[in-house]
Amino acid sequence: MITTRQKEIIAAAGKLLTHSGLSGLTIKNLAAEMKFTEGAIYRHFKSKEEIILTMLEYLASNMDERLSGLAKVSDPEQGLIELFENQLNFFSQHPHFVVAVFSDGLMESNEKINSAILRIVSVKMKHLFPVIFSGQQKGKFTTAITTEETIHLIIGAFRLQMFRWRALGFREDIKVSGMKTIQSVLKIIKA
Amino acid sequence: MITTRQKEIIAAAGKLLTHSGLSGLTIKNLAAEMKFTEGAIYRHFKSKEEIILTMLEYLASNMDERLSGLAKVSDPEQGLIELFENQLNFFSQHPHFVVAVFSDGLMESNEKINSAILRIVSVKMKHLFPVIFSGQQKGKFTTAITTEETIHLIIGAFRLQMFRWRALGFREDIKVSGMKTIQSVLKIIKA
DNA sequence: TATCTTTGTAAGTAATTACTTACAAACTTT
DNA sequence: AAAGTTTGTAAGTAATTACTTACAAAGATA
């Protein structure tokens, strides 16, 4: 499906994106990052669009696998914590993918890329929904707002946290500050 | 300070940004949108960077003025509602500025642009802080989490709402869906 | 009325972009 | 060992980029 080289290239692409924005993601820069020439990039991808799409699809399925692999816990609060610990662990180890996953900046007039971005969001929601829902049913989380509204709050807070992490140059420990955010959300949504 | 033509140009720039992303914001497209030639753009701005910076600075001071002009109300809940009604009203009338205000996509390796973006965030926080803080002191809002954490939750939810509005092509009425988000946040943070 | 300033056009510039083509070295397979 | 395949290089391409320059028309000022 996806070769080792392709993985290396999309990792380099994420790195460029995160550090220099979309305008920094050029084939020239990508080749330099990979330490070979531009032509070689086209041995592995037929276009720049394909690189971005492959990156987004990889991140979506990677996230889906990771979160599917989480052991089922009966306590919804613990389930929520483990879900975000897993997410934060991934971004802590792969900070260069932050932009690709969260950036509105990749949203251009390109239909394919836009729907690939929305797929990532929906994967996240897919795993978040049952945790929140069961928490509400068990009387652990508030039912003052709907499941969707709760998810909206959580994802919004998480995204903003990642935005700030990047804006501040990845200086803070995202595992610590990210969990603080989740903890404060938890305090608020607990029934 | 800023001429009428300059305002027209930054409005056109926002329009291009929102519809076609950063790569759609070219001098050529900008000139076409203004219905004159590329050279004429340079009669009003000395560089593309200056256009973006002027746009961001305009948005920051515009927001600052708007929110400063709000009548002081004693009820924090009402204050919060009026603040966001004002914000939603602005974006409803100027949807093409959504990207400029919220997009991480403008964040590039350009230092000046990055700090202009962060200025917008800080203007918003400046006006949100006293409302939340007084609400907590008056016992109207929860003190289970800090003022900063509350603001983080609110801004995160609001940003995500704007992101979705754009992703769905500005189809829904942002005044309605935006206020729903604020209402659900309010339910949660009320003491 | 004559001159100056402002704001536009037309046609360029060099640099950068994504992508291609002809060729060669190194593995793999036979 | 011979042949085929994979993966790289070197040197291009046409298109697009931000920006410039020489010129002209219109309005304001003298």
Q: Which nucleotide is nearest to A27 (CA to C1')?
A: C18
B92 C-beta less than 7 Å away from strand D? no
Tokens 């009669």 sit on residue: B43
Q: What is the CA radius of gyration of chain A?
A: 18
Tell me the two tokens of residue A66: 């990771």
Question: What confidence tier does B88 reach under pLDDT thresholds 50, 70, 90?
Answer: very high
How far does B160 lie from chain A, in Å, by closest CA? Answer: 5
- A133-172, pLDDT tens digit by residue? 999 999 999 999 999 999 999 999 999 999 899 888 899 9
- Chain A positions touching B19 (Cβ under 8 A) are 109
Give which of A162, A163, A153 is closest to A187, Cα–Cα.
A153
Please check whether residue A117 is in contact with residue A159, taking contact to mean a CB–CB distance below 8 angstroms.
no
What does the pLDDT average to over A45-66? 97
What is the topology classification, in CATH, of domain B4-189? Tetracycline Repressor; domain 2 (1.10.357)
The CATH number fitting domain A48-189, selected from 3.30.310.50, 1.10.357.10, 3.40.50.300, 1.10.150.20: 1.10.357.10
What does the pLDDT average to over B2-23? 94
What does the pLDDT average to over A104-132? 88
Chains A and B: how many Cβ contacts under 8 Å? 119
Q: Which member of A22, A159, A161 has the closest CB to residue B160? A: A159
Please check whether residue A24 is in contact with residue B108, taking contact to mean a CB–CB distance below 8 angstroms.
yes
Query: Around B176, how many Cα atoms within 13 Å sit in the side-chain half-sphere?
Result: 4
Please check whether residue A172 is in contact with residue A95, taking contact to mean a CB–CB distance below 8 angstroms.
no
How far does A128 lie from chain B, in Å, by closest CA? Answer: 16
Q: Which member of A109, A144, A181 has the closest CB to residue B152? A: A181
- Chain A positions touching B107 (Cβ under 8 A) are 21, 105, 166-167
B111-137 and B147-167 helices, crossing angle to 10°: 120
DSSP A71: P
CA of B40 to C1' of D23 (A): 14
Predicted local distance difference test score (pLDDT) of residue A32: 97
H-assigned helices in A45-190: 48-68, 76-93, 98-102, 111-137, 147-167, 174-189
Inform me whether the pLDDT recorded for B160 exceeds 90: yes
H-assigned helices in B21-104: 27-34, 38-41, 48-68, 76-93, 98-102
- Chain B positions touching A107 (Cβ under 8 A) are 21, 105, 166-167
Q: How far is Cα A153 from Cα A185, in angstroms, rounded to an integer?
A: 8
Residue nearest to nucleotide D12 (CA to C1'): A39
How far does B43 lie from chain A, in Å, by closest CA? Answer: 26
Question: What confidence tier does A104 reach under pLDDT thresholds 50, 70, 90?
Answer: low
Inform me whether the pLDDT recorded for B34 exceeds 90: yes
- Chain A positions touching B103 (Cβ under 8 A) are 104-105
SS3 A190: strand
Tell me the two tokens of residue B36: 């004159």
Predicted local distance difference test score (pLDDT) of residue A168: 84
Tell me the two tokens of residue A24: 């920094």
**Closest chain A residue to B141 measured between Cα atoms?**
A188
Give, as ranges, the nucleotides of chain D with any atom within 7 Å of a protein CB. 7-12, 16-22
- Those residues of chain B whose CB sits closer than 8 Å to some CB in chain A are 19-24, 99, 102-109, 114, 117-118, 142, 144-146, 149, 152-153, 155-161, 163, 166-167, 181, 184-185, 187-189
- Partnered with residue A141 across adjacent β-strands are A190
Share of chain B above pLDDT 90, in %: 81
Predicted local distance difference test score (pLDDT) of residue B119: 93
Predicted local distance difference test score (pLDDT) of residue B104: 65
Question: What confidence tier does B103 reach under pLDDT thresholds 50, 70, 90?
Answer: low
